[in-house]
Structure 1
């Protein structure tokens, strides 16, 4: 039997089995053939590590149901609220930027209109144009006979007349009239 093992080992190193790939299980089979019929020896740590170990759980543990804390619910609510507020602010930002674009286009139109109106304004106050328009309307410069001068060298004077003191009855009627007028104004 030992000669069969030697032949197998000898043939395995030089033999090619169709695809030049190493047969990794061959050494394990050779070792098993060499030690066939012998009593088992003590295992080394390396051999013990080679064998797969199966671990069995005697009892399955069930996780208890977790309770939601109030703080986590409030936290998720706050996060959702902040997300909605951020979206609303983006909406407002978009609307404001659209308004800004329309206002900028309106501003450019107003600037061009301002340039044309300023040119018309300057043309209207051109002295030659004003003189031509006045002569066309029949206006002319005033002559010396049409000019009058006012002398204000005398002092100003004013006359103030004093009124008589109203009686008690007239003051009472006046204050009553003001009171009724205030009440009517309040309810109107």
Structure 2
């Protein structure tokens, strides 16, 4: 026996108090094996329809109908306003492009207009026949705007004592004086 113990490799689990043979099933004794197992009847489920409680039909609220109608009307109005906004936006873009085209055309026409009249030739023609002359230094007046403006109101000393009737009579007399 001592020789048999030497031949076996060391097994640390050999000395455990329960013997484990590598299977998870319990080893049955002979009496337990021979006893017939009780048969279990399969359960039959009874099919029953669940009883569903049906909600009673309620009345439609006039307030809810009017609310849905108002929401639908506002949705249509918003949709129409978006359509108008998009058409106005596209017209603004087209007008803006037309405006840039017209501004460039205006600049071209102004340049052609300025070239049409030669101011030097007009001045020499008018001054040659004597109908126009250059201003003399005594004719030129320069306004000095460095001083602040001031206004003086003179009072004639007359009192206003008439009314509407007196004013109308004065106007009639001035009109008759011309005839």
Greater helix content? 1
Question: TM-score higher than 0.5 here?
Answer: no
| Greater RCO, CA 8 A, separation 6+ | 1
Which bin holds the TM-score, normalised by the shorter protein? 0.3 to 0.5
